[in-house]
Amino acid sequence: MRLTPRAATEAHAGGTGSAGAAAWSGELERALARAREKLLSMQSPEGHWCGELEADSMLEADYIFLHTLLDSGDPGRLQRALAEIWRVQRPDGSWSIYPGGPGNLSLSVKCYSAAKLLGVPAEDPRLARCREWVLAHGGVVAANTFTKIYLCALGEYAYDAAPAIPPEITLFPRWFYFNLSEISAWSRSILVPLAVIYAKKPFKKIPKERGIDELFVGGREHAILRLRRDRTRLLSWRNFFIVLDRLTHWFEAVHLRPLRALALRRAERWILERLEMTDGLGAIYPAMLNAILALRCLGYSEDDPRVRRARLEFEKLGIEKPAGPDGEATFRMQPCVSPVWDTAQAVFALGEAGVPPDDPRMARAAEWLLSKEVRHKGDWADKVRGVEPGGWYFEYANEFYPDTDDTAQVLLALRKAGDPVAGRQKEAIRRALAWEFGMQCTAGGWGSFDKDNTKMIFQYIPFADHNAMLDPPTADITGRMLETLAAFGFDRSDRRVERAVAFLLKEQEADGSWFGRWGVNYIYGTFLALRGLRAVGFDPADPRLRRAADWLAGAQNPDGGWGETCGSYDDPSLRGRGLSTPSQTAWALLGLLAAGQAGRLEARKGLAWLLERQLPDGGWDESIGSGFARESVITGTGFPKVFYLAYTMYRVTFPLLALAGYRDAAS
Q: Catalytic residue numbers?
A: 405
Longest dimension (CA), the chain: 86
Q: How many angstroms separate the CA atoms of 28 and 354, rounded?
A: 13
Q: Identify any residues that bridge with 645 across adjacent strands, giving them in sequence order.
A: 636
Chain-centroid distance, C-alpha 173: 30
Beta-bridge mates of residue 319: 332
Q: Which long-range contacts (CB under 8 A, 24 or more apart) does 506-513 make?
A: 507/445, 507/475, 507/478, 508/475, 508/544, 508/547, 508/548, 511/547, 511/551, 511/575, 512/544, 512/547, 512/548, 512/549, 512/550, 512/551, 513/548, 513/551, 513/552, 513/575, 513/576
Q: Please report, for residues 410, 486, 518, 607, the alpha-carbon distance to residue 347 in angstroms, rounded to integers and kept in the order given.
A: 9, 18, 20, 22
Residue 563's alpha-carbon distances to 307, 519, 546, 581, 585, in angstroms, are: 43, 12, 20, 5, 7
> Which contacts qualify for 203-206: CB closer than 8 Å, 24 or more apart?
203/152, 203/153, 203/155, 204/68, 204/69, 204/153, 204/154, 204/155, 205/155, 206/68, 206/117, 206/154, 206/155, 206/156
CA distances to 159, 224, 237, 247 from 232, rounded to whole Å, are: 21, 16, 12, 16
DSSP-derived pairing of the beta strands 631-632 and 636-639 = unpaired
| Bridge partners, 637 (sequence order) | 644
Q: Are 646 and 633 in contact (CB under 8 A)?
A: yes
Report d(CA 16, CA 24) in Å as an integer: 10
* Number of CB atoms found within 10 A of residue 269's CB: 11
- What amino acid occupies position 88? V
At 331, which helix (H) or strand (E)? strand 330-333
Give the three-class secondary structure for 647. strand
